[in-house]
Amino acid sequence: MSTSYKVKFWEHRVRLDRRMPYMVRWTVAGKEFSESYLTKTQADGRKSVLIVAARAGEPFDTVQGLPVSELREPDVTTWYQHSRNYVKARWKGAPAKTRTTWADALASVTFEMVSSKAGMPDKRIVRRALYTWGFNVNRWEQEPPPDVEKALAWIARNSLLVSDLSEAKMMRRMLEAASVLLDGKKAAPSTVLRKRRILHHVLGRAVEDGLLSANPLPQIQWQPPDIDEEVDPEVVVNPEQAAALIAEVGRQGKVGPSLQAFFGCMYYAAMRPAEVVQLERARCVLPETGWGRLILNASSPRVGSSWTDDGASHDARGLKHRAAKATRPVPIPPELVALLRAHLERYGTAADGRVFQTGPGGFVQESTYGRIWKQARSAVLNEADQATSLARRPYDLRHACVSLWLNSGVDATEVARRAGHSVAVLLRVYAKCIHGGEDQANELISQRLGRNAAKAPPKGA
């Protein structure tokens, strides 16, 4: 290695016509080197690091132009940079919703994975900057707002090295950060476990990249929170209540009538909202009488335009937990057939064939159907029921549908198929909503005891 102490720095060169317009320039033994950055703040930060190394008397490599310490350290990658590398490597082709979960998990811990909090901007600003820009690849080539740029620059300067995370205390700090909200309250158990799974994978990637010798997360004594996945029976409406609520939706102003069949799909076909908004007319079999059929093949969860590849607010995907081209045929009762036929006769379809649309042909928004549902619920339920969680969310209609199928004696395998669940998940999630099971079991036991009594020899024989 050839080194030199003759290091000279020049002013930045700015070329606004380039993607990375700010160029840091310096020479080592008369040989010119440069690095380009998106913002002036980033360029200033890099130049400061190089100047500190030169003033400390550190030799620079004459081939690469870098301080020797940067060449000798195999693990100079920071947690922030490694996390960004992880997101970038997995970004292409990933569902937009999955991208948001990565960003959420990483943003919730990264502002704690720092060497010092001196000069740290407000943590809410840092958290927002990390979520909306730091871990959103779609925005990396855009100029961030000043407060975001400042927060990210601070994180980049103070982020711990990945090698520092091998210490147990750092892993405990990470898990604690993943377990609380910004206001200090405990996060939901399912949220904590989801974040831990993501962080475990990110650290595993660090092992794969040679930044850590082993994943330190499993080595920590940590008690995962208990998760109650079962649906609370209190949220489940009966058929009469469901029909009354859906009818009341049709009386809610100009928008309500266009959403009756929307809510009907959730209750009578156990459809997820993201599946309903993507339902196409061509996949609806709606006879004049009797049962019909929906052939579901797609969903479009709303995630925000900055997370999708095409800039749309909804991310068109295949069915949840299914292969990309999988379909799910769902028989539908005459009640839903009638709702859909009436809806199509009155409103037609969107230009792309979707059954449900806003006035301009866009996707039905959560804010809209959530508001209408809240109004209908207030009109139908009495004060006592309104104070409970009964049908508090539109999604509870799906729970009510699955519960109805199970309580009607439909085989669990068929219920799981129609709802798009595995049988194991179905029985675990809806265990408390299967009414009548105890009475049936008692009857079977009584019958068996009765048979045994009949076969028993008479007393004294």
Task: Please tell me the predicted confidence (pLDDT) of residue 438.
Answer: 57
**456 belongs to a structural domain:** no
Mean pLDDT of 223-228: 63
Total domain count, the chain: 3
| Boundary-marking domain end, from 219, 246, 269 | 219
Mean pLDDT of 150-174: 91
**440 belongs to a structural domain:** no
Task: Please tell me the predicted confidence (pLDDT) of residue 309.
Answer: 81
pLDDT tier, 146 (very low <50, low <70, confident <90, very high otherwise): very high
Whole-model pTM: value is 0.67
User: Do 306 and 158 belong together in one domain?
Assistant: no
- Which domain, by its residues, includes 50? 3-72
**396 belongs to a structural domain:** yes
User: Do 253 and 376 belong together in one domain?
Assistant: yes
CATH number of residue 275's parent domain:
1.10.443.10
Interatomic CA distance for residues 453 and 206, integer angstroms: 68
User: Do 208 and 269 belong together in one domain?
Assistant: no
Q: Is the pLDDT confidence value at 227 over 50?
A: yes
**448 belongs to a structural domain:** no
Task: Please tell me the predicted confidence (pLDDT) of residue 428.
Answer: 77
Task: Please tell me the predicted confidence (pLDDT) of residue 433.
Answer: 65
User: Do 177 and 259 belong together in one domain?
Assistant: no
pLDDT tier, 412 (very low <50, low <70, confident <90, very high otherwise): confident
Q: Which of 78-82, 112-116, 218-222, 365-369 has the lowest mean pLDDT?
A: 218-222
**277 belongs to a structural domain:** yes
Task: Please tell me the predicted confidence (pLDDT) of residue 151.
Answer: 94
User: Do 55 and 184 belong together in one domain?
Assistant: no
pLDDT tier, 225 (very low <50, low <70, confident <90, very high otherwise): low
Task: Please tell me the predicted confidence (pLDDT) of residue 324.
Answer: 63
Q: Is the pLDDT confidence value at 259 over 80?
A: yes
User: Do 371 and 428 belong together in one domain?
Assistant: yes
Average pLDDT of the chain, as a whole number: 87
**How large a percentage of the chain has pLDDT more than 70?**
90
Q: Is the pLDDT confidence value at 430 over 70?
A: yes
Report pLDDT digits (tens) over 261-278.
Answer: 999 999 999 999 999 999
User: Do 378 and 240 belong together in one domain?
Assistant: yes
Report pLDDT digits (tens) over 313-349.
Answer: 776 776 666 656 778 899 999 999 999 999 999 999 9
Q: Which residues lie across from 78 on neighbouring strands?
A: 161
Residue with tokens 């609520």: 245
Q: Which residues lie across from 294 on neighbouring strands?
A: 284, 330
For β-strands 13-14 and 22-28, DSSP reports them as antiparallel
**311 against 173, higher pLDDT:** 173
Return the top range by mean pLDDT from 59-63, 280-284, 297-301, 323-327: 280-284
Interatomic CA distance for residues 351 and 51, integer angstroms: 60
User: Do 241 and 357 belong together in one domain?
Assistant: yes
Return the top range by mean pLDDT from 228-237, 331-340, 445-454: 331-340
User: Do 135 and 238 belong together in one domain?
Assistant: no
> DSSP alpha helices (H): ranges in 320-419?
334-347, 366-380, 383-386, 396-407, 412-419
Task: Please tell me the predicted confidence (pLDDT) of residue 104.
Answer: 95
Contact 65/26 with Cβ under 8 angstroms?
A: yes
**201 belongs to a structural domain:** yes
| Boundary-marking domain end, from 27, 51, 72 | 72
Q: Is the pLDDT confidence value at 436 over 50?
A: no
Q: How many residues does the chain have?
A: 461
Task: Please tell me the predicted confidence (pLDDT) of residue 435.
Answer: 47
Q: Is the pLDDT confidence value at 381 over 90?
A: yes
Task: Please tell me the predicted confidence (pLDDT) of residue 458.
Answer: 57
Contact 307/99 with Cβ under 8 angstroms?
A: yes
Task: Please tell me the predicted confidence (pLDDT) of residue 162.
Answer: 92
**443 belongs to a structural domain:** no
Task: Please tell me the predicted confidence (pLDDT) of residue 228.
Answer: 54
| Boundary-marking domain end, from 72, 100, 120 | 72
**369 belongs to a structural domain:** yes
User: Do 206 and 333 belong together in one domain?
Assistant: no
| 192-422-444 Cα angle (round to 5) | 110
User: Do 259 and 399 belong together in one domain?
Assistant: yes
Task: Please tell me the predicted confidence (pLDDT) of residue 285.
Answer: 95
C-alpha atoms less than 13 angstroms from C-alpha of 231 in its C-beta half-sphere: 25
User: Do 247 and 279 belong together in one domain?
Assistant: yes
Q: Is the pLDDT confidence value at 74 over 70?
A: no
Task: Please tell me the predicted confidence (pLDDT) of residue 317.
Answer: 72
